[in-house]
A and B are shown apart, each in its own frame.
Chain A
Amino acid sequence: MQELVNRAKELLADGTVARVLGWKAGDLPYNPEPAYFEKAEELVDFVYNGFCGANLSKYMIEASKLEGKTMVCLKPCDTYSFNQLIKEHRVDRDKAYIVGVGCKGKLDIEKIRKQGIKGIELIQGAELTDEADTLKIQTIYGDKTCAYADAMLERCHVCKGKEHMVYDELIGDSNETKDADRFDEVAKLETMSPEEKFAFFQKELSKCIRCNACRNVCPACSCRKCVFDSTKFDSSQKANVDSFEEKMFHIIRAFHVAGRCTDCGECSRVCPQGIPLHLFNRKFIKDIDELYGEYQAGADITSKAPLTNYTFEDAEPSIVGKRG
């Protein structure tokens, strides 16, 4: 982290960048938040540790409109989103100085809490430079430990890899954290009966409080005008809710990002209700891979998105029923 701060100071001092986009410490040890730093003195608040899960690429849409370059810290998975935004002409590549930061898997405070660790005061071992694979956690009930891998976000268990897709320079090393296939859960759901599937999604989606956090954080959801802000759209009112509304909301949201979703996993991370929203996005990714050829959104900036492309021999929609 010190290396990162030093480099940021250098870049600010020589005028390469006008501001730094990174994370600053929150009021608790596990909630750093995205922040801009415009002066070298402000960088004392800069943090980069295992809890910096936030994908900063979406902030670059606004930062692209500001004067001067912005130094932005992107983890390997964030660079896919950034590439996708370049492709969609939402960010200006020339306005960004991308520092590809290392990542050894990001942590999920909820997973730590689920292990019965509450009243957290201090967490050690979450720094990028820490070699240990256990977290030492000081709580008001005494010291606890937790394996790093057990506290990782779901998305890090199915990591896309430690390569940065786009960067100006790299700082820090990354670890291989992948230990599962990202389509396992989707494949498991597909084999269930319609009743079981419906019950599963009903249970998960009925937790939705329509806070729009998933939409607001999603780098692919960058429309200036969003269909869900329309007062004419039924799902804008949660008060007179009906079970269909959340489904409609989530299917449409997933559909709007189908073929553009890089599977960065931010939607599931920010959901205050813990709904596994990635299951929708991954279903579309899986279908696209199977029917129209493997496609990873954001891996490059030239390929045609699957839903803006076609071939004469494409599968007919009846294939859905035939696949069983």
Chain B
Amino acid sequence: MSLENKEFKPKIVAFCCNWCSYAGADLAGSSRLTYPADVKIIRVPCSCRVNPMFILRAFEKGADGVIMCGCHPGDCHYSTGNFYARRRMTLLFSMLDYIGVENGRTRVEWVSAAEGVKFSETMNSFVEKIYSLGENVRLGDLRCKN
């Protein structure tokens, strides 16, 4: 199969907090709601566990989009974790935008444990967005490409 004909299959990393979004994904599954298999979920104890470096690292290793999901502001299991995460991610996304990485490749969405539908809708729309943006060529490490 030549490289040109290879169909674009995006790699999408989703960081989901243990208490809300991961349970939300679970609910989406048990409610038989679908979302694309391109999304790989990484469970984190809290959205504020997501170090900005995780996101850069994901891009480096070939991710085409990174989404972070956590409890709604005010509902954090640890009371305030997602407030800190929100500031951090805002600054990081702004910096990525500043160096010329399309803003659509990064997203933060608050998904509660009861929002299976929202989880599935969020993932569907995010994957669609990544399909429209195409492969991430700006941030990938060439050594990580197959």
A interface residues (Cβ-Cβ under 8 A, vs B): 186, 189-190, 194-201, 227, 234, 240, 242-245, 247-248, 251-252, 254-255, 258, 280, 283-284, 287-288, 291-292, 306-312, 314-321
B interface residues (Cβ-Cβ under 8 A, vs A): 52-53, 56-57, 59-60, 73-74, 80, 83-84, 86-104, 106-108, 138-143
C-alpha spacing A316/B107, complex, angstroms: 10
Tally inter-chain residue pairs, CB-CB below 8 A: 110
Instruction: Report 11 cross-chain contacts, Cβ distance below 8 Å, ordered by A residue.
Output: A194-B100, A196-B100, A198-B99, A240-B143, A251-B99, A252-B56, A307-B91, A309-B87, A317-B89, A317-B107, A320-B93
B141:A234 contact, CB within 8 angstroms: yes
A255:B100 contact, CB within 8 angstroms: no
B56:A306 contact, CB within 8 angstroms: no
B139:A314 contact, CB within 8 angstroms: no
Known: A242-B142, A316-B108, A318-B108. A190 touches B98 (CB 8 A): yes
CB distance from B126 to the nearest CB of A (A): 12
A310:B84 contact, CB within 8 angstroms: yes
A252:B53 contact, CB within 8 angstroms: yes
Known: A247-B99, A318-B108. A312 touches B73 (CB 8 A): yes
A287:B90 contact, CB within 8 angstroms: yes
Chain A residue, CB-CB nearest to B88: A307
C-alpha spacing A254/B89, complex, angstroms: 14
C-alpha spacing A307/B52, complex, angstroms: 13
C-alpha spacing A287/B80, complex, angstroms: 22
Chain B residue, CB-CB nearest to A313: B73
C-alpha spacing A63/B47, complex, angstroms: 39
B143:A242 contact, CB within 8 angstroms: yes
C-alpha spacing A89/B56, complex, angstroms: 30
A258:B91 contact, CB within 8 angstroms: yes
CB distance from B85 to the nearest CB of A (A): 9
CB distance from B69 to the nearest CB of A (A): 12
Among all A-B residue pairs, the 10 with the closest Cβ atoms: A198-B100, A310-B83, A197-B100, A317-B108, A321-B103, A317-B90, A194-B100, A320-B93, A317-B89, A201-B99
CB distance from B28 to the nearest CB of A (A): 21
C-alpha spacing A186/B99, complex, angstroms: 11
CB distance from B46 to the nearest CB of A (A): 14
